[in-house]
Amino acid sequence: MSWLPQTGQAHAADGKRNGDLCRDYNDDKNATSQDTLYTTSNGAPYPHPYETQRMGENGPLLLQDFHLVDLLSHFDRERIPERVVHAKGSGAHGFYKTTNSLEDLSCADIFKQDKMCPITVRFSTVGGESGSHDCARDPRGFSVKFRTEEGNWDAVANNTPVFFLRDPAKFPHFIHTQKRHPATHLTHADDSTLFWDYLSQNPESIHQVMILMGDRGIPDGYRFMHGYVGHSVKLVNKNGDWVYAQIHFKSKQGTKFITQADSADKSPDYSQKDLYFAIENGDFPAWDVCVQTMTAKEAEDLWESEKINVFDLTHVWPQSKFPLRKVGEFVLNENAKNYFAEVEQVAFNPAHLVPGIEPSADPVLQSRLFSYPDTHRHRVGVNYQQLPVNAPRVPYRFANFQRDGSMAFFNQGSRPNYLSSIEPISFRKRTVDLNKTHGHFIGNAIAFLSEIRPEDFVAPRALWEKVFDDGAKERFIGNVSGHMANCRDEEIIKRQIAIFREVSEDLASRLEKATGVKGYPGIAELSFNGSHNGMAKDAQLRAANGMEGDKESNQPGNNGAPRKGTHDGLPA
C-alpha cells in the first residue's frame, strides 16, 4: 500500500499527524458565525436547519431524517438535571370523571359514562430556569397524566391554543432565543434582541405573539387559565371510524390576568403559592374537558375554503363551525407530599396514548412523540416510568421485554426477556386498526419547510379587531414596546412592525409611535431566514435563507395541509 504515508510522515500540510486531526478549541471558540458552515453533528453540510423530511407533502416524518433526530436528541440533553423547557413548575393530584360519554367517537375506556381515574397535573412556565419568576410573560405548560385502566394517557398542553412554530426543527432554535444570551448571560428581560430577531424572521409566530403580549401573557396563577393540547389528534371508535380532535381544558374558575406593572409586585413563587394553599384550604380548582372534532373530509374542505390547516400548530379551529363538546371534568384536591418526587420527577409524554386516541400527521406533534420520552430517559433515567408518580395503575399485571438499565427497580424476575414459546405471555386483541387509521399516506420523501401565507394573519387580526377592547390594546402596545426597548438592533424592530402591519395598520402605527421606529410597509418586500415568504412580490425573496430553488420544488401550495384527496378511501 504505497499510497499510505510512512511512519512519522506528516499527514496534513500543517504538520499534524492523522491522530492529531481534531477541532481546535480556541479556533472554534473565536470563530464568527460568518466563518462557519452549517453541518450535521458528523460534519456533513446541510442546506437549512429548519427543514424536515416527510412522507409526501402532508404525511408523517421519516425516521431516516438524521438531521432532525440528531438535532432533537442533542437538544433534549442540553440541561442537567432540570428540564430544558418548562423547568419552573407546580403540580398537584386529583381525579377525572367522564360526565358525558364519548363512546360514539372513541373506544378509550376512560371515555365511558361515569368512568373515573386518578390524575397528576403539572403547570409551568416555558422559557425560564427552575428559579425563574412565576409571573414572567411566557406561555404556561398545562400537562395532565390520566392513569386509566388501559395505561397512562398524557395530555401535554399549554394555556394557549397555538404556538410559535409549525416546523419541528425550529423548536430547539426558538427555545435557545428564550434562554440566556451566550455572551452576556442575560435573559430577554434585559436584552430582547435575540427574542425579536427570531420572531421577525419567522412570521408564523404572530398569533402566539399576539396572545403572549396581550392580557393572557401573564395569567393570575395557574387556577385561572385554560389549557389546550393544540395539536390535532385522532379519536377512534369501536367500529374503527375516526375523527380529528382538539382537546380543551376550560377553567371552572374563569380566567384572570396580571398586568405587566402589577407582576413586579408578585412573589417569585406566586403561582406555586396560590395553587398549593388553595388546595390546602379546600378550595379545589377544577376544569371541564371538552373536544372539538371534524371528519377527514371536513379537514380537507376547511383547507380548501378557509386555508386552515389541521396539521398546523399556529392555526385554530373556528368554534362557530366546530363547537366544543364537554366530555368530563377533573379536580385537583391533593398537594404533593414531596415536590421532587411527585412534581419534579413526573414525566409527561404526548406519545403516552391509550387505544382510542391516536396522533395525527401534525409534524410538530410527530416530533414531540420522539423528543419527550427521549429527554425523560436522559433527565430522569431510562426507567423513568418505574417511578411511582409515573407508573401506570392498571388492573392487570403488565409485562414487556424492557430490562435492565439504570434504576431498574422492577426487572420482571426470571421470565424470559423475549417472545418465548416455553413461557408465553398473554396478548389482548387489537382494538384499533392502525392500517385503517394511519395507512393512507403515499408519496415521495421531500425536504419540507413551511411558507408564510395570508391566512397566517387572519386569526391574529380577529384577535386585535374583535377580541381586544381599547384597554387591552393599550396594554398590548405598552407590553410590546416596553419589551422592544431592550432590543439593540433597530432593523429587527422595523421587520417586526412590518409583520404586525400584516395583522393591522392600526396596530403597526401605534407601535411606531410607541417605539419611535418606522417599520417596513409590510412583508411583501422582505425575505426571511426561517420561513419561505409566500407573500413576497419578487420571486428572489420567497425562499428562506436564500435556498435557491428549494421554495418552488418543496412547496406544492398546500403548506402541509390535508388538501382534497389526502384521505381517499376513507368514509366521508
350 and 485 together in one domain: no
Reference 256, options 133, 120, 159; nearest CA is 159
Q: What confidence score (pLDDT) does residue 12 get?
A: 55
For 46-71, the pLDDT digits (tens) are: 888 888 999 988 899 988 898 899 88
Residue 81, preceding peptide bond in cis (omega within 30° of 0): yes
Residue 385 DSSP SS3: helix
Name which of 123-137, 154-168, 427-441, 551-565 the model is least confident about: 551-565
Share of the chain above pLDDT 90, in %: 68
Whether residues 467 and 320 share a domain: the answer is no
Active site residue 237: no
> pTM of the full predicted structure?
0.88
Shared domain for 234 and 340, answered yes or no, is: yes
Query: Environment class of residue 424 by beta-carbon count within 10 Å: exposed (0-12), middle (13-18) or buried (19+)?
Result: exposed
Do 287 and 329 form a contact (C-beta atoms < 8 A)?
yes
Grid cell of 214 as nine digits: 396581550
The residue out of 336, 366, 396 marking a domain boundary is 366
User: What nine digits make up the cell of 374?
Assistant: 427521549
Count, residues in the chain = 572
Report the number of distinct structural domains present in the chain: 2
Q: Does some domain include residue 201?
A: no
**Chain segment 105-140, per-residue pLDDT in tens:** 999 999 999 999 999 999 999 999 999 999 999 999
Residue 14 banded pLDDT, cuts 50, 70, 90: low
- The whole-chain average pLDDT of the chain stands at 90
Instruction: Say if 434 falls within a structural domain.
Output: no
Question: How much is the average pLDDT of 18-35?
Answer: 71
Q: Average pLDDT in the 538-561 region? A: 76
> What pLDDT does residue 435 have?
81
Is residue 515 included in any domain, yes or no?
yes
Residue 154 in any domain: the answer is: yes
Residue 86 is a catalytic residue: yes
Residue 337 shares a structural domain with residue 473: no
Using an 8 Å Cβ cutoff, are 188 and 237 in contact? no
pLDDT in tens, 102-113: 999 999 999 999
Q: Which pLDDT tens digit goes with each residue over 331-357?
A: 999 999 889 889 999 999 999 999 999
Residue in 198, 187, 132 with CA at minimum distance from that of residue 164 = 198
Q: Which residues of 329-363 are buried (b: 16+ CB within 10 A; e: fewer)?
A: bbbbeebbeeeeebbbbbbbbbebbbbbbbbbbbb
Q: Taking residues 494-514, what's their average pLDDT?
A: 97
Q: Are residues 327 and 228 part of one domain?
A: yes
For residue 253, give its domain range: 89-159+218-366
Quote the distance between the C-alpha of residue 197 and its chain's center: 20
In a domain, 536, yes or no: yes
* CATH number assigned to the domain comprising residue 277: 2.40.180.10
pLDDT (mean) for 512-540: 95
User: What do you get for the CA distance between the two ends of the chain, in Å?
Assistant: 68
Q: Which of 86, 188, 207, 483 is catalytic?
A: 86
The response to whether 198 counts as a known ligand-binding position is no
What average pLDDT does the segment 480-487 reach? 96
Q: Above 70 in pLDDT, residue 572?
A: no
Of 93, 133, 152, 158, catalytic: 158
The CATH number of whichever domain residue 520 belongs to comes to 1.20.1370
Quick check: is 501 in a domain?
Answer: yes
Residue 28 CB neighbour total at 10 angstroms: 9
- Residue 566 located in a structural domain: no
Query: Does residue 382 fall inside a structural domain?
Result: no
Looking at residue 553, what is its pLDDT?
47
The last residue of one of the domains, among 366, 401, 419, is: 366
In this structure, the answer to whether residues 347 and 462 fall within a common structural domain is: no
Highest mean pLDDT among 42-51, 281-290, 398-407: 281-290
Same domain? For 330 and 456 the reply is no
Under DSSP, is residue 163 helix (H, G, I), strand (E, B) or coil? coil
Domain closes at, from 366, 391, 416: 366
